[in-house]
Amino acid sequence: MPDQPIPAEPPEELLPEVADWLHRRSWTTADRPPADLLAAKRAAGPAGTVSVVLPALDEEPTVGEIVRVIRRELMERLPLVDEIVVVDSGSMDGTAAAAAAAGARVVHRDDVLPRLPAAPGKGEVLWRSLLVTSGEIVCFIDADLREFDPAFVSGIVGPLLTDPAIQLVKAMYDRPLETDGAVVPAGGGRVTELVARPLLNLHWPQLAGFVQPLGGEYAARRSLLERLPFPTGYGVELGLLVDALDLVGLDALAQVDVGVRHHRHQDGQALGRMAATIYRTALERLDRTHRLKTTPDLVHPLLTQFTRDPATREFTAHTHPVGALERPPMITIPDYVHHQGLGELRRRPRKR
């Protein structure tokens, strides 16, 4: 009797909830024309005020152009943005001067909440930015972007202006990897593909539909951000996304296709340190929600990497801490409550 062919397994499919979310909560910038955004902003009143925050560390070559584009296109031609704030975390170059000359308000990280010594890391800067901005919608944009398109701001702010049910919007885009003159059209986002996406799919499958879960361009309502803890380092994007899911539910999250993202790429060892921090951030959340009980022995918070000495040809070990410091929800900080004039806590956003 001839061998019978092995029937092919049916292709795996997305969770129905994720497939439905992708259909209803994924858009392009063309879905919301500029005139509609402006009308929605005016109708929203104070709830439609927008602050753009650029966390910056030694970004002199790019930060000025980003600020100029936002001011020209989204404050003068189409008045969607109310303020641009660059938070400098100790740049040694001319980042602060370039940003100020382009029209941003520049704030130094250490001048915000000075009673609390600053920790290194992007998440620390984003957390402190809530104290020095006034918009009810806060839009974070990385300061190393090249060929900056204003759609990176208007695209992700749009759903928050037009739909009160939306709480957080992430940008999605292609990330070309440019090395030594060669371009791989979709080769960027290596930590996303090797670390973050597997973690999210395995442990938070509701978030499997996000194209760029680690992307630094996202906007959210202040009333949500002030209730989230902020990992101080590289884990901030994954941490905020996971915690937002737990607090307000998948249907309050969305993404918008803004095209192509060009930016500076880091070397392999820097990506390794980033990956370790993101993994630890995920473990902290698995433990916090009792999905995985961690013990002191489970996480050894150090990462050892190696470089070869070009002269001796010997390998040298370099050990780095894998940080887990987080800042508490800003709404619990008395300085913030006083600064915002909040006599009572804002109504807590809830899952829909």
Q: Residue 266's pLDDT is what?
A: 67
Q: Give residue 327's pLDDT.
A: 95
Question: Residue ranges of the domains in the chain?
Answer: 16-186+207-267+326-340
Task: State pTM to two decimals.
Answer: 0.87
Name, in order, each residue with C-beta under 8 angstroms of 269's C-beta and a sequence gap of 6 or more: 305, 307, 318
Q: With the CA atoms of 73, 139, 257 and 230 taken in that order, what torsion angle do they form, in degrees rounded to the nearest 10?
A: 160
Q: What is the pLDDT of residue 345?
A: 39
| High-pLDDT (> 70) share of the chain, % | 85
The mean pLDDT value for 293-314 works out to 72
The predicted-structure confidence for 201-254, as pLDDT tens digits, reads as follows 989 999 999 989 999 999 999 999 999 999 999 999 999 999 999 999 999 999
The mean per-residue pLDDT over the stretch 82-99 comes to 97
Q: Indicate the residue type of 238.
A: L
The answer to whether residues 194 and 275 touch, using CB atoms and an 8 Å cutoff, is yes
Which distant-in-sequence residues (6+ apart) come within 8 Å of 58 by Cβ?
91, 92, 93, 95
Structure confidence at residue 348 as a pLDDT band (50, 70, 90): very low
Note the pLDDT of residue 50: 99
H-only helix segments in the chain: 16-25, 34-44, 60-71, 95-102, 122-129, 151-162, 190-191, 197-203, 222-225, 236-248, 268-288, 334-340
Strand partners, 39: none
Lowest mean pLDDT among 92-96, 114-118, 131-135, 338-342: 338-342
Query: In a 10 Å sphere around its CB, with 0-12 CB exposed, 13-18 middle and 19+ buried, how is residue 44 labelled?
Result: middle
Reported confidence tier of residue 13, pLDDT bands at 50, 70, 90? confident
Q: How far is the C-alpha of 184 from the C-alpha of 91, rounded, in Å?
A: 30
Assigned fold of 16-186+207-267+326-340: Spore Coat Polysaccharide Biosynthesis Protein SpsA; Chain A (3.90.550)
313 band by pLDDT with thresholds 50, 70 and 90: confident
pLDDT of residue 4: 60
Secondary structure (3-state) at 186: coil
pLDDT of 244-291, one tens digit each? 999 999 999 999 999 988 756 667 788 888 999 999 999 999 988 877
Could you tell me which residue, 89 or 189, shows the higher pLDDT? 89
Mean pLDDT across the chain: 88
| pLDDT attached to residue 339 | 79
Q: Mind listing the pLDDT tens digit for each residue in 134-161?
A: 999 999 999 999 999 999 999 999 999 9
pLDDT of residue 347: 40
DSSP string of 75-113, one letter each residue: IIIS----EEEEEES--SSSHHHHHHHHTPEEEEGGGSS
